[in-house]
Structure 1
């Protein structure tokens, strides 16, 4: 998906954080808290305990934030991945403000989208590049190391491309929308499996991402210029490829040579593709993954 070179992305919420390692868990979070947060996010953060990534006793490290002030236009977004994330943020913020009015719910944008190098502290504890992109409810911020996009292609087999990268952000932004709606907490029940609330939360976020992608070319900047140009068939396939690449079955098969459905937390590759397509074709109003039966997921 290509940005209009003249689009104004300067208002996008995104920042870049320098290297920050060996940092204490914010707010005194311990092992139990990380277990709960892992269930909430659908991301296993507990592996950071005892690995040097989390210093539960308080500790050093330093970071620096940059506001990506050089990322001003759609042309910048087309040329630079960090500017592209800022542009996606600007587009997603405008899209969900309009969608919230249509669907009649109160909405405020995420606090920030933080791109970090190697490791950083968050409201959910310490995170590393190995954690993968995630949304942290306590500080209402999306975090990612952009090196994940290389892993998405090299390790997970996605075809890559700008829309595949923006799908990742749109998915995490969907978790923020769920947090605003009071839905995200349903993943806190500790259950896993094909019809678990954790899977339903993730598939709904995929659906929300699809809804944004379908409408992104009609979302205008402050001057009325659409942020993005219409999606091409190849770009659409890139997004589907990214969704398929991170299915539970595909990841488990690659990692351990077998698939264990009772441990699913995100849904199969086919489910993730299907729900992205549902959002793309039918809009955010069709993304109620909690009202359908297990067989319809």
Structure 2
């Protein structure tokens, strides 16, 4: 995946280092492309409660000291070759550019890049959770270094396209939050299983990520200039790697569909492809269909 050298990068919605979000706020973090993976494993091993219980949702966050991260000087796509860290605000810029046009009244989320642990409005977040979205402060949290580690551990090829898909997935949760679908999905409680609202919410975010990618690569003025077949393969591979069934198998256990919170690899690949092939966010209504791609 290559970036257009003269396209602008907007860093105004990206925070670097330290903790973001309010302490002791309300809300529950939403697992995304990688978010919730370690939580899922903990729930399977220890039979714990909901994600909010493990995160300490609603309780006062007590973040450990973070390692400071420098704020890179990123102006255009050309800066990514000079400093690869500029790719993170580039992803965010491209995502916000699309949704600001596609969704009336769109309000950008904040992206917090951190290391170790971070205080959020949903409780304490940590690197091991992977990227996640907190609706309590409308923030996407990413430990950029550890995300690559998780992709590798899950057997994904990785790369810029895979990273962009994961960030776009987290912003997909932000869209669901803005439209009110996240609130409606949670009204029935923290259900699990292949047809649960929890899985439908994750698949919707996958679909939104596919929609964004299709439109971003077709934007003549956008940051993403070229996308190869290899890039597309990496996106599909990342969706496979974060499927509940794949994670359960990799952890040495049996596949337990009743415990799924994100959907199987097949389901996740299906909805990424559905969004990408159409380029239309209206196809992402995962709550009114019986066909979830399983």
The answer for the alignment partner of 1:77 in structure 2 is 80
Which structure 2 residues correspond to residues 35-184 of structure 1 after superposition, within 5 A?
A: 37=28, 43=36, 44=51, 46-48=53-55, 61=64, 68-78=71-81, 80-100=83-103, 105-110=104-109, 112-184=110-182
Verify the 8 A CA contact 1:95 1:219 in the aligned structure 2. no
TM-score by length of 1: 0.83
Verify the 8 A CA contact 1:78 1:84 in the aligned structure 2. no
Q: Give the Cα–Cα distance (whole angstroms) in 1 for the partners of residues 287 and 99 of structure 2.
A: 20
Which structure 2 residues correspond to residues 235-254 of structure 1 after superposition, within 5 A?
A: 235-254=231-250
Secondary structure in structure 1 of the residue aligned to 2:216: helix
Verify the 8 A CA contact 1:186 1:198 in the aligned structure 2. no
The answer for the alignment partner of 1:289 in structure 2 is 286
Q: Give the Cα–Cα distance (whole angstroms) in 2 for the partners of residues 294 and 247 of structure 1.
A: 17
The answer for the alignment partner of 1:261 in structure 2 is 257
Deviations 1:78-134 (A, max 9, x none): 45443111001111111001111xxxx432111x10110111111111111011111
Q: Give how far 1:281 is off.
A: 0.4
The answer for the alignment partner of 1:191 in structure 2 is 191
Q: Give the Cα–Cα distance (whole angstroms) in 2 for the partners of residues 210 and 295 of structure 1.
A: 15
The answer for the alignment partner of 2:24 in structure 1 is 27
Q: Give how far 1:257 is off.
A: 2.1
Secondary structure in structure 2 of the residue aligned to 1:257: coil
Gaps of 5+ in 1: none
Q: Give the Cα–Cα distance (whole angstroms) in 2 for the partners of residues 69 and 136 of structure 1.
A: 25
The answer for the alignment partner of 2:201 in structure 1 is 201
User: Is 1:6 the equivalent of 2:2?
Assistant: no
Q: Give how far 1:57 is off.
A: 6.9
Backbone CA RMSD of aligned residues: 2.9
> Structure 1 stretch 286-295 or stretch 169-178: which is displaced more?
286-295
Q: Which stretches of structure 1, 4 residues or more, deviate above 6 A after TM superposition?
A: 39-42, 64-67
TM-score by length of 2: 0.83
Q: Give how far 1:152 is off.
A: 3.5
Q: Give the Cα–Cα distance (whole angstroms) in 1 for the partners of residues 287 and 172 of structure 2.
A: 15
Deviations 1:19-54 (A, max 9, x none): x6xx9x82266xxx7xxx2578773353355xxxx9
Count residues in correspondence: 275
